[in-house]
């Protein structure tokens, strides 16, 4: 038997919004430690890695390790049926063919359950080695989303350059060029509004706007986003999810042909 | 002209 109950059910709604445009289907791996999901987009350019720790749930029971293959479009449709303040429970038997989502209103007066068929997926799992990044930028998630959206008007790609002076986002194309520079915050009253940069060496890489804009669908999950960059390593874009876990996106850079 | 690299060239199968 598997059962995971989350009082802040809106987190599940936001997670689905954050992955459904990038991935059509994915396996949810459930074990003692919690729920993980790892999947690449069809083009194998980006990867989503989600981790929800069991201790972050209000109730968590997993008698046997489970892998549940789900169509994320269908899962998103079901989670749209949950209210923002609903308590969400995900339930499955051992070796399940289906998964059940239960939504309870805060006052307990309304309860709905939705059963979804599972899929048998044969997806490639990648080993993601731990690495020391050359630059780690933390900034407000809304600001990053805004910059990606704004610069996408100028071209297909964004150059992210990071140095001691700060982080610069650049794009150019037919209509002209655009640069957005952010300096490290000097005086921070609110931590979530801060821009911080940890730099070992300056870096500058080019990334496809299309994917960056997919990643920013996770913005409602977190006040801050962390961008980690290193030579010969994909960009990592990370959003913390309350005190339950995080969603990480990896993106291969563009290179000069 | 820019080429898009794939993740497979960075990460190996688990």
Q: Which residue of A has its CA nearest to B6?
A: A45
Q: What is the mean pLDDT of chain A?
A: 96
Stronger pLDDT, A197 or A124, i.e. the higher one? A197
Residue A53's pLDDT is 98
Residue A188's pLDDT is 77
Contact, A19 vs A221, CB < 8 A? no
Q: Which of A44, A129, A208 sits opposite B7 (nearest CB)?
A: A44
Contact, A226 vs A137, CB < 8 A? yes
Token pair belonging to A213: 């804009």
The ipTM assigned to this model is 0.94
- Total length of chain A: 257
CB atoms within 10 A of CB A205: 22
Q: Do B13 and A124 make contact, defined as CB atoms within 8 angstroms?
A: yes
Q: Which of B2, B11, B12 sits opposite A206 (nearest CB)?
A: B2
| Res. A2: pLDDT tops 90 | yes
| Model pLDDT for residues A125-137, shown as the tens digit of each residue | 899 988 999 999 9
Q: Which residue of A has its CA nearest to B2?
A: A256
| Res. A46: pLDDT tops 90 | yes
| CB neighbour class for A22 (10 Å; exposed up to 12, middle 13-18, buried from 19) | buried
Dihedrals phi, psi of A215, to nearest 5 degrees: -65, -35
Band the pLDDT of A237: cuts 50, 70, 90.
very high
Residues of B in contact with A252 (CB under 8 A): 4-7, 9-10
Dihedrals phi, psi of A146, to nearest 5 degrees: -65, -45
| Res. A140: pLDDT tops 90 | yes
Residue A147's pLDDT is 98
| Model pLDDT for residues A143-164, shown as the tens digit of each residue | 999 999 999 999 999 999 999 8
Residues of B in contact with A233 (CB under 8 A): 10
Residue B1's pLDDT is 63
Q: Do B1 and A46 make contact, defined as CB atoms within 8 angstroms?
A: no
Q: In chain A, where does DSSP find H-type helix?
A: 10-19, 72-79, 141-151, 209-215
Report percent pLDDT > 70 for chain A: 100
Look up residue A211 and give its DSSP letter.
H
Most distant pair of Cα atoms in chain B: their distance: 33
| Res. A256: pLDDT tops 80 | no
Stronger pLDDT, A256 or A180, i.e. the higher one? A180
A61-70, A118-127, A134-143, A173-182: range with lowest mean pLDDT: A118-127
């Amino acid at each position: 038997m598997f059962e995971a109950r989350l009082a802040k059910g809106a987190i599940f709604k936001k997670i689905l919004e954050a992955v459904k445009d990038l991935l059509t289907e994915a396996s949810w791996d459930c074990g003692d430690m919690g729920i993980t999901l790892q999947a690449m987009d069809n083009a194998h350019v980006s990867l989503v890695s989600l981790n929800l720790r069991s201790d972050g749930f209000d109730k968590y029971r997993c008698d046997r390790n489970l892998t549940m293959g789900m169509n994320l479009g269908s899962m998103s449709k079901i989670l749209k049926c949950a209210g923002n303040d609903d308590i969400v429970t995900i339930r499955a038997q051992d070796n399940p063919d289906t998964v059940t989502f239960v939504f309870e209103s805060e006052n307990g007066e309304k309860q709905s359950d939705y059963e979804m068929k599972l899929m048998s997926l044969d997806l490639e799992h990648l080993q993601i080695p731990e690495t020391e990044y050359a630059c780690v930028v933390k900034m407000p998630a809304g600001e990053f989303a805004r910059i990606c959206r704004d610069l996408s008007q100028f071209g297909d790609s964004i150059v992210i350059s990071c140095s001691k002076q700060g982080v610069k986002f650049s794009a150019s194309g037919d209509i002209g060029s655009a640069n957005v520079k952010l300096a490290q915050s000097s005086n921070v009253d609110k931590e979530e509004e801060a821009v911080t940069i940890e730099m070992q060496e300056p870096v500058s890489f080019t990334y496809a706007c299309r994917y960056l804009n997919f990643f920013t669908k996770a913005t409602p999950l977190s006040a801050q986003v962390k961008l980690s960059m290193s030579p010969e390593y994909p960009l990592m874009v990370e959003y913390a999810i309350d005190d339950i876990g995080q969603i990480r996106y990896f993106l291969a850079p563009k290179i000069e042909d | 002209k820019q080429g898009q690299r794939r993740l497979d060239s960075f990460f190996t199968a688990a």
